[in-house]
Structure 1
Amino acid sequence: MPTEREHRRVTVEPGGPILIDGPVQVQLPDGTTARSDRFVVAVCACRRSKRYPFCDTSHRKKIRDD
């Protein structure tokens, strides 16, 4: 597991989630922290996820107009 000083890979998927090598802690605007110990974590970028801040593939249900 990387320490705080080591770099983590972050991949932005066009039209999809942000993929982060895990484990991760995501600090939300309300001050709470969401945690995931998964190897790769998909963080929602569209805010449609019912599991926000984590992606549940809700972005696939609607076609985006870019």
Structure 2
Amino acid sequence: MSDGRSFDHPDIVLCPGGPMLLRGKHTLEDTDGVVHRTHRPVSAVCRCGKSATKPWCDGTHKLLPPKLRPS
């Protein structure tokens, strides 16, 4: 690519039964329209909807029965 980025790993990874991992700088908008920016090299975004720190993952998906975990 001409922008100089290396694509040895994806920027976004969906973890089976768990969060979405974002590598690098991203912004995301929650259901209330609030924009959140990533501040870490890798940020975990909740996909189960049960996190107490939404939009970020707090590990709650590990406590859910398998049928309620994100696929």
Smaller-chain TM-score range? 0.7 to 0.9
1:17 to 19, 23, 42: 19
The letter for the 2-side match of 1:14 is P
Report which of the two has the higher share of strand.
1
Aligned residues: 62
Partner of 1:35: 37
Secondary structure in 2 matching 1:65: helix
Determine which structure has greater relative contact order: mean sequence separation of CA pairs < 8 Å that are 6+ residues apart, divided by chain length: 2
1:12-65 CA distances to partner (integer Å, 9 max, x unpaired)?
A: 100000011022211112221122210001010001100001100000012212
Over aligned residues, Cα RMSD in angstroms?
2.2
Secondary structure in 2 matching 1:20: strand
Quick check: which has more Rg, 1 or 2?
2
Identity %: 32
Matches within 5 A, 1:24-63: 24-63=26-65
- Structure 2: which 5+ residue stretches go unaligned? none
Equivalent-residue separation in structure 1 for 2:24 and 2:38 (angstroms)? 7
